[in-house]
Amino acid sequence: MPVDIQPALDFLKCPTPQEWIDEAIKQDNLEILLIDHANNELKAAQNAMSIIRRYGSAPQQRSTSRDIEKDSKHNTFTEKKAASTALNLMYRYTEHFELLNKMSRLAREELRHFEQVLAIIKKRDIPYKPLSASRYAGVLRKHVRTWEPARMVDTLIIGAYIEARSCERFHKLAPYLDDELKKFYLSLLKSEGRHFKDYLALAEGISEESIEERVAFFAEVEREAVESVDEEFRFHSGVPA
């Protein structure tokens, strides 16, 4: 049954520019595409795990809470209040099993994708060489607010955008690829489309106010990243220079 990726397409402000597709299918860039794709799957897993670490009840998190408590003794009232809000949030997220569970499942799924891309890289004798990250995620993360729960909400909305764009790009690129890659990329649509919805639902659940405005803000930042010129070709790069 074909996967309905329309919700992901509707969520994004613009499609992947055709210039990017034309660049991606050049033989020289296929290696970069696959290596960067593998790196992105790994980063997606790491991002989910860092959310678990930050908002879960790992021992390191408890010591962070103590540090905030200790620091706040010497700070002003406002800072104390901010620290105690952060503490409350940490305890609240510790109770937030849905977030922890979803992020854990997502991390496992992304690691599975990582292994699948690695297998293709190995099969094609492509050297798995170090590759710098594209500016895409950094451009989005630059706007993450620094206080809670805003920080968490922004992190989750950005997660939704990265997943939705990946889904849209796999879908648009697939018809231009060889059979093996085409099949693989189409097989990823289902999970990436689900990940985008999961991130968004979690952001809605955690936020104390409507996330509409933040979603619209990141939609614009994301569109700008995709439609502006990029010197380096990557999976999430913009229009080729």
**Between residues 36 and 163, which has the closer beta carbon with respect to Fe ion?**
163
Residues 123 and 147: their CA atoms lie apart, in Å, by 45
* Part in contact with Fe ion (CB under 5 A); list of ranges 8-16, 36-44, 143-151, 205-213: 36-44
In the range 103-132, which residues lie near Fe ion by CB under 5 A? 110, 113
Least Å from the CB of residue 138 to Fe ion: 18
Contact yes or no for 121/35 (Cβ under 8 A): yes
Least Å from the CB of residue 181 to Fe ion: 15
Least Å from the CB of residue 239 to Fe ion: 24
Dihedral angle computed from the Cα positions of residues 122, 124, 130 and 134, in that order, rounded to the nearest 10 degrees: -120
Dihedral angle computed from the Cα positions of residues 124, 176, 220 and 35, in that order, rounded to the nearest 10 degrees: 0
Any contact of residue 214 with Fe ion (CB under 5 A)?
A: no
Least Å from the CB of residue 110 to Fe ion: 5
**Between residues 41 and 148, which has the closer beta carbon with respect to Fe ion?**
41
**Between residues 172 and 195, which has the closer beta carbon with respect to Fe ion?**
195
In the range 160-199, which residues lie near Fe ion by CB under 5 A? 163, 192, 195
**Between residues 152 and 167, which has the closer beta carbon with respect to Fe ion?**
167
The residue among 170, 139, 150 whose CA lies nearest residue 9 is: 170
142 to 18, 20, 157, 229: CA distances (angstroms): 27, 24, 13, 18
Burial class (CB in 10 A: 0-12, 13-18, 19+), 2: exposed
Binding residues vs Fe ion (CB under 5 A): 41, 110, 113, 163, 192, 195
